[in-house]
C-alpha cells in the first residue's frame, strides 16, 4: 500500500515539473517573440517565469506539504512571515523609485513585477525554510 502512495506522490511531482517546464517554455517563447519584433518582451513574460518558479518549488515541496504535521505548519508560517517583510521592502523600493523618477514603468509592468516577486519570494522562502527545518 505504501508503494501506491509513493507512486501518487511521484506522479504529482512530475505533474508540477511538467507545468514548470511549460511555463518556462511559454516565457521563453514570449521573450523570443518580443526580441524578434525589435521590442521589449511583454510584461506578462515575467509572470510566466514566476509561475515556473512556483511549479518547480511545489514539485520539490509536494511530498513534504502532503504531510499535515507541525513541521510543515512551521515552514509555512515562517515562509509567509519572511515574505511579508520582503514584500514591504519591494513596495518601498518601487515607491521610492517611482516617486523619485529613478525608474519609469507602466502601472501594469509594476503590478506584473510585484506579482512575480511575491510568487517567487513566498515559494522560495518555503524551500529555504524546508531545508532549515
User: What does the pLDDT read at residue 2?
Assistant: 59
Q: Report the C-alpha gap between 117 and 4 in whole angstroms.
A: 37
User: What does the pLDDT read at residue 8?
Assistant: 83
Question: What parts of the chain have a pLDDT lower than 70?
Answer: 1-2
Phi, psi at 108, each rounded to 5°: -65, -35
Q: Where are the alpha helices (DSSP H) in the chain?
A: 2-36, 44-66, 70-99, 107-132
User: What does the pLDDT read at residue 67?
Assistant: 82
Q: Quote the pTM value.
A: 0.89
Amino acid at each position: 500500500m505504501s508503494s501506491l502512495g509513493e507512486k501518487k506522490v511521484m506522479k504529482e511531482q512530475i505533474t508540477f515539473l511538467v507545468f514548470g517546464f511549460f511555463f518556462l517554455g511559454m516565457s521563453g517563447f514570449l521573450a523570443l517573440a518580443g526580441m524578434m519584433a525589435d521590442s521589449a518582451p511583454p510584461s506578462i513574460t515575467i509572470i510566466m517565469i514566476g509561475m515556473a518558479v512556483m511549479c518547480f518549488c511545489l514539485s520539490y515541496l509536494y511530498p513534504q506539504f502532503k504531510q499535515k504535521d507541525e513541521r510543515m505548519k512551521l515552514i509555512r508560517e515562517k515562509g509567509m512571515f519572511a515574505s511579508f517583510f520582503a514584500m514591504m521592502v519591494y513596495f518601498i523600493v518601487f515607491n521610492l523609485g517611482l516617486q523619485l523618477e529613478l525608474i519609469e514603468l507602466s502601472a501594469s509592468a509594476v503590478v506584473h513585477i510585484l506579482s512575480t516577486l511575491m510568487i517567487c519570494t513566498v515559494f522560495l522562502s518555503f524551500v529555504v525554510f524546508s531545508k532549515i527545518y
